[in-house]
A and B are shown apart, each in its own frame.
Chain A
C-alpha cells in the first residue's frame, strides 16, 4: 500500500476552519495573509498543509492556537474545535484549551524547549497547568508518555536538560509534552524539517503510531512532498494564503488538477539517478588521504579530539559532478571547507590541476584560488549587504588584475546567463529573493572562470520550485563551461538529480563511493541503505505523477 486510504467520512469533525481570513491591520493596504481558507480535520485523520514559504501554512496553525504574532489579526471566518468557535474565546479560555485539547509541536526542537529547565519538569508542567493530579501521579504520567515516545533510559532523560539531548530526542520530548493530556488535535509545524532524514523517518513513524493509539487528529504542516506522501490522509495545497487544491493524498499526487500543484510536484527531484555525464581523462581535483582533526584542548582543558574527516580520497574530472552526501556531523562540510582552504587540513593532499594546495601559504594560494570557487547555503548571507551586485561580482576579477571595464562587461553578460535583468547590477542584495541571490552568488563564482566549483548545500535553503531552477542553471553552466562541481548535500533527491558520482559520508568517514546510479540503486553499505530507505516518499515518482515501479515499467532500464 503506497498511501493511506482510510476513510474518515463517518468520523466526527475535530477541527474545521471556515472562511478563515487573517490580515496585517497595521500595514498600508491591509494585505491578507490568509484569504478565507476552509480546512476540515476529522478524528484520527492526518491533514497535510503543504506549500512553499509565504504560503500562509504556519499562520493557519498559529491562528488555530490563538498564538498569532501581534501584527497579524483574524479578520473573519470561524475556527471550530469540536463545534465550538474558538475566535470569541478570551485569552484565559484559550489558555485552558492549549495542550489540553489542541497541542502543537514546532520546527526547531533545538530551541523549542526551555534550556534552563529539566525536560521532565517541562512535561510535568503541562499537567500542573491543566490538571489537579498529585505530584506523584504527574511524574508517573510523564514517565509513561516518555516511554510511549520511545525515549531510551527514561529515568536519566527525565532529569536531563535539553542541551544534553539530541535533536530527535528533543522532538520526542516535544511530542510527549503535546500528547500527555491526549488532545483532540495535534498541530505539527514542520516537525521534522530540522532533523536528519533517518531521524525524520522515526519521528514520522512515532506520530503515526501515537495518532492511531489515541485517535488524535493531526494537522501537519510541511513543504516536503515526500513527507506528504508518507503520512497524509488528506492534502491541502496552499499558495499565497489560499488553498488551491485539496483532496485525498493519492488523488492529489496522481491526478493534480491545479496548475500550481502540478508545477510543485514536477519540481520535486526524482530519486532515480540521472544519466551520468561523459567521463573525461582530465582530472582537475584529486583529494587524497585528507584528514581534519579538531580540538585536543589547551593547558587547563582537555577536549576530546574530533576527527571531522578521516582519510577522505576522491578525484574529479572536468565537467563532472561529485556529490558528497551525509547527515549532519558527517564531515561533508568539513571536506568542502578544507578543499576551499577556508580551514587548514590536518594532513593529506589536495591537488588542483596537479598542484598540491593543501599546505600552501596564503600568498602561495592566491594564484590557485581563482580556479576554485564556492557557493554557500544561505543566500541571505552570502552577499555583502552593503555592496551593489556589480561590486560583489567584480571583486574577484579585480583582485587578479582584470581591468574594471572588462570585468563590468563580463558581469553584465553573466547576469543574462543566470537569468537576471542587466540593471540588477546596480541593485543591492536585499532587493532580490533567495533564489535570485543564489543565482548572483553562482554568477560571482563563475566570473572567475573556475575549474572547480564547490557548492555547499547550495539549494537546501530554497523552495522546491526555485531549487529546480537553480539546479537547472548549474547543469547548464557545467555543460557550457566544463566546470567540475563538488556538490555537498544532505538531500538524496538533489544528489540523484545532479551527481555523476557520489560519496556517502558518516562520522567523518567515506562509507561508500561510486557512480551515482550504482550507489543509489544498489547501495552496498548498510548506512547508505538506511539513508535511502529513510528518504520520504521514495516509492513515488512525483514528477511523473506515478509510482516508481510504474515508472520503471514505462522505461525499462
Chain B
C-alpha cells in the first residue's frame, strides 16, 4: 500500500519534468527571436535588449533551463515584464476567486451529474436516458462563453436575479459570494456535468451488464441496492478518472468564464498576460495549471484504493 503510493508519487516526477521542458521550449523553440516576439513589431533595439536581459535570453539554452528550474524549485516563478511585480504575488492576489468558483463548480457538478448518469443507465433507452444524453451532448456542443452570455441574458438582464458581472470574495459572507459566483459556477457546471454524466452513464451501463449484478438480483436485492451498493462503487474508478481529466476542461472553462463575467481571477490574469505578451506570466500560468492538473490526478489515483480493493500492489 505504502509502496503503491510512493510509486505513484515518483511516477509524477518525470511527467512534471517533461511539462517543464515543454513549457520552456514553447518560447525558445518558436521560430524567430523570442525577444522580438514578446516585444512586438514596434520594439526598439534597446527594448529588445532589456527583454533579453530580463529573461536571460542571452545565455545558452541549457544554462537558461537550469537557471529557470532552479528558480522554480525555490518557488520563484519570475517577474512580470509589464508590471515588474513577482508572478507569485500576482497569482496570490487573484487565485481566491478562481479557486472558490472552481470548488463550487465541482461540488455542483458531481452532485448533479452522478445521479443523472446512474438514472440514465438504469432506465436505459427510456425518456430519462434520452433527456440526460441530450443535455450532455448539448453541454459539449455549446461554447462555454455562449452559455455564459445566455445565462446573463436570461437571469441577469431579463429576470434580474443576479448581477451581470463582478465578484465578491467568500470572506464577505456566503450570501454575497453566491450572489456573484452562482452564474459563473452554473456556466462551468453545464459543461462539467455533461462530461461526468456521460461517463457515469457509460460506466454504469457496462457494470450493470456484469455477472455480479445478476448475482445481486438473484439474491433478491431491490434495484436501489443493486444500483448504489453493487454497481456505483464498481463504476467509481472510471468516474473519478473523468473528473480528474475533466479538470483540464475546467481550467479552460475558467479562463473563458472569468472573461465573460469579468472576475478578477487567474484566468483573467492569463488572458491579459497573453494579450500583452507578458511571457513570464504566461509561462508561470501554464506551468502552474499543468502541475495542478497532475496533482489533482495523483490524488484521484491514490483515492482508487479506497474504492477498489484490487488496486493494492
Contacts and interface: CB of A to CB of B under 8 A. Distances in A.
Are A and B direct contacts in the complex by CB distance below 8 Å? yes
Interface of A: 65, 67, 92, 94-100, 103-104, 106, 108, 111-117, 125-126, 129-130, 161, 163, 174, 177, 300-301
A194 B211 CA distance: 14
Contacts of A126: 219-220
Interface string B174-217: 00000000000000000000000000000000000011101111
Interface in B210-236: 210-212, 214-222, 225, 229-230, 233-234
B230 A114 contact: yes
B234 A114 contact: yes
Contacts of A65: 218
A32 to B, nearest CB: 23
A117 B222 CA distance: 17
Contacts of B309: 115-116, 161, 163
5 contacts: A95-B222, A112-B214, A115-B212, A116-B308, A163-B309
A163 B310 contact: yes
A100 B212 contact: no
Given A112-B215, A113-B215, A96 B308 contact: no
Identify which of A98, A114, A125, A130 gathers the most chain B CB atoms within 10 Å of its CB. A114
B7 interface: yes
A341 B127 CA distance: 54
Between B3, B10, B218, B225, the greatest number of chain A beta carbons within 10 A of the residue's beta carbon is seen for B218
B123 to A, nearest CB: 12
B232 to A, nearest CB: 10
Contact of B210 (A98, A111, A300): A111
A65 B220 CA distance: 10
A129 B310 CA distance: 26
B307 A116 contact: yes
Contacts, number: 79
A106 B211 contact: yes
Interface in B144-202: none
A177 B216 CA distance: 11
Given A111-B210, A161-B310, A100 B215 contact: no
Interface of B: 3, 6-7, 10, 210-212, 214-222, 225, 229-230, 233-234, 307-310, 313
Contacts of B210: 111
A161 B216 CA distance: 16
A129 B225 contact: yes
Contacts of A113: 212, 215
A139 to B, nearest CB: 17
Given A67-B214, A108-B211, A99 B234 contact: no
* Closest 7 pairs between A and B when the two form their complex, measured CB to CB: A98-B220, A111-B211, A114-B212, A161-B309, A95-B220, A99-B219, A112-B211
Contacts of A300: 3, 6-7, 10
B213 to A, nearest CB: 8
Contacts of A125: 219, 221, 229
Interface of B is mostly: helix
Given A65-B218, A95-B220, A300-B10, 12 more contacts: A99-B219, A100-B220, A112-B214, A115-B234, A115-B309, A116-B308, A116-B310, A117-B229, A125-B221, A125-B229, A130-B220, A163-B310
A180 to B, nearest CB: 10
Contacts of B308: 115-116
A98 B212 contact: no
A67 to B, nearest CB: 6
A301 B3 contact: yes
Nearest to B4: A301
B218 to A, nearest CB: 5
B233 to A, nearest CB: 5
Given A116-B233, A300-B7, A103 B218 contact: yes
Among B210, B219, B225, which residue has the most Cβ atoms of chain A within 10 A?
B219
A114 B216 contact: yes
A98 B218 contact: yes
Given A114-B230, A115-B310, A301 B7 contact: yes
A232 to B, nearest CB: 23
Given A98-B220, A116-B234, A125-B219, A106 B214 contact: yes
Contacts of A116: 233-234, 307-310
Contacts of A163: 309-310
A373 to B, nearest CB: 36
Nearest to A164: B309
Contact of B219 (A92, A115, A177, A301): A177
Contacts of B219: 98-99, 125-126, 129, 177
Contacts of A67: 214, 217-218
A96 B222 CA distance: 9
A117 B210 CA distance: 15
B234 A129 contact: no
A117 B219 CA distance: 15
A423 B219 CA distance: 50
A97 B310 CA distance: 33
A214 B245 CA distance: 53
Contacts of B10: 300
Given A116-B309, A300-B10, A301-B3, A111 B212 contact: yes
Interface-central residue, A92, A97, A112, A116, by most chain B CB under 10 Å: A116
Q: Max chain A CB contacts within 10 Å: which of B6, B229, B309?
A: B309
Nearest to B225: A129
Nearest to A300: B7
Contacts of B7: 300-301
Contact of A99 (B6, B218, B233, B313): B218
A104 B218 contact: yes
A111 B308 CA distance: 15
Contacts of A100: 220
Nearest to B7: A300
Contacts of A98: 217-220
B34 to A, nearest CB: 38
Nearest to B307: A116
Interface centre among A94, A104, A112, A113 (most CB of B within 10 A): A112
Contacts of B6: 300
A454 B3 CA distance: 42
Contacts of B233: 116-117
